[in-house]
Amino acid sequence: MFTTLTSIFVLVFSTPESDTMIGIFDTAADCDEIAWVMSPHVSAASLICEEIPPCKTEDSTECFWDAETMGNGNGNSFIAW
């Protein structure tokens, strides 16, 4: 049985050695923990933990769609951010 997520948390950061990277977490605590671990390696301005709500419909924006638990259970999951 799959659990429907009420939100996801996205961490966006970049390091001098790499392009922008994104981490996706199911709790704010996990996102904050990785942000804390990364903080010595990136500027504070580049560490952003942002909460993303679930989409109300498949064509919504600024949300996430979990294809396994939303709609008819088919299709692809995505983040429209």
> In the predicted model, is pLDDT for residue 79 greater than 80?
yes
**pLDDT confidence of residue 53:** 92
Q: What is the pLDDT of residue 12?
A: 79
SS3 string, the chain, reads: CCCCCCCEEEEEECCCCCCCEEEEECCHHHHHHHHHHHHHHCCHHHCEEEEECECCCCCCCCEEECCCCCCCCCCCCEEEC
The predicted model scores a pTM of: 0.67
Per-domain residue ranges of the chain = 8-80
